[in-house]
Amino acid sequence: MTAVESPAVWADGLRKRYRRRVAVDGVSFTVGRGEVLGLLGPNGAGKTTVIKMLLGLVRPDAGETMLLGRPSREPRARVRVGYLPELFRYQPWLTAAEVLRLHARLAGTAADPEVLGAVGLADRADDRVGGFSKGMQQRLGLAVALVARPELVVLDEPTSALDPIGRADVRDLLLTLRGRGVAVLLNSHLIGEVERVCDRVVILDRGRVAASGTLPELLGGRELRLHLDGVGDAAATRLGTVTARDGDWWTIALPDDVPALIADLVGLGVRVHAVEPGRISLEDRLLTILRGNR
């Protein structure tokens, strides 16, 4: 496998323990070139620890990681990787342009001149970072992640300080990056954001992968939504696996034979007002997975 064909991220069997607390317990996943992968999970699930192990900032107790076809521990693997940490702070006495030049120099390249414009800071290039709002600092952090024209961008909560327009800008930016073949690993609690931009999702819970797949695999077409009244015990049993219920709306696992189900429900005295394909939200899916995991 050449470096070009290899996935942007390859992680196999990652484990990390802090004293007696197991933070990450056998996590494996890949991020393809040009793919946007969302890392989701509750507080303390191990997302940031996984990201830090990938980037060589935390040493795994076990497991292997490759970035862009090279072992992550090699500094050369990280040259084409942009990273926005969860907690970011830049030298307050430097201007935005100086911060970018510094980071480009550290990466051994020239700064991409378009990057401040891409994060909406073109007119603040010569202002000192100490005078930036939190959201502006986060935008600068994104610019830092992109300044060396990376092939992989790792973003840990990139929009936590941003207003709704800033979030929409970041979504557009991620889609532009994907269009250029840049891979993105996105850790975010903003599930709507993940649902809009990610091709694939890995859900971590208590240090393990609780579920993973493309959005259609996780959400699409495998459920049916029914608006029903008069559902007695026999009809409820006939419905099979109920994944969600909101008053008279029932969401069930997609049965093999929908017309047969409807005929049986009518036969059991149920009034069927509506039947529609169910595509549940990622948030509902996440909650179902996490609750099932308790």
Ligand X SMILES: Nc1ncnc2c1ncn2[C@@H]1O[C@H](COP(=O)(O)OP(=O)(O)OP(=O)(O)O)[C@@H](O)[C@H]1O
Residue 206 Cβ vs ligand X, minimum distance, rounded to whole Å: 9
The residues, any chain, with a CB within 8 Å of residue 210's CB and separated by 6 or more, are 41, 203, 204, 289, 290, 293
Least separation, in Å, of the C-beta of 189 and ligand X?
6
> Quick one: 171 or 208, whose CB is closer to ligand X?
208
Distance of alpha carbon 73 from alpha carbon 231, whole angstroms? 59
Q: Which stretch binds ligand X (CB under 6 A): 2-10, 18-26, 104-112, 113-121?
A: 18-26
In degrees, to the nearest 5, what angle opens at C-alpha 246 toward C-alphas 243 and 250? 50
Q: Which is nearer to ligand X, 57 or 244 (CB)?
A: 57
Tell how far CA 237 is from the center of its chain: 36
Give the separation between CA 143 and CA 128, rounded to whole angstroms: 15
Residue from 11, 14, 23, 100 in contact with ligand X (CB under 6 A): 23
Nearest distance from C-beta of residue 286 to ligand X, angstroms: 13
CB nearer to ligand X: pick between 45 and 111: 45
Helix (H) or strand (E) run with residue 54 in it: helix 47-54
Cα(274)–Cα(286) distance, integer angstroms: 26
> Which residue type does 142 have?
L
For residue 133, what are its two tokens?
């709002």
| Cβ at position 52, least distance to ligand X in Å | 8
Nearer of residues 27 and 228 to ligand X, judged by Cβ: 27
Per-residue interface string for the shown chain with ligand X, residues 34-53, x marking contact by CB under 6 A: -------x-xxxxxxx----
Q: Which residue is associated with the tokens 């323990």?
A: 17
- Give the binding-site size for ligand X (rule: CB under 6 A): 11
- Residue among 86 and 248 whose Cβ is closer to ligand X: 86
39 contacts 187 by C-beta, under 8 angstroms: yes
- Contact set for ligand X, span 48-107 (CB under 6 A): 48-49
Least distance between ligand X and beta carbon 217 (Å): 22
Structure tokens at 153: 């961008």
Pairing of strands 70-71, 62-67: antiparallel
- Between residues 6 and 28, which has the closer beta carbon with respect to ligand X? 28
For residues 147 and 190, which CB has a smaller minimum distance to ligand X in the complex?
A: 190
Q: Counting contacts by CB under 6 A, is residue 26 touching ligand X? A: no
Q: What are residue 133's phi and psi, to 5 degrees?
A: -70, 170
Which residues make up the interface to ligand X (CB under 6 A)?
18, 21, 23, 41, 43-49
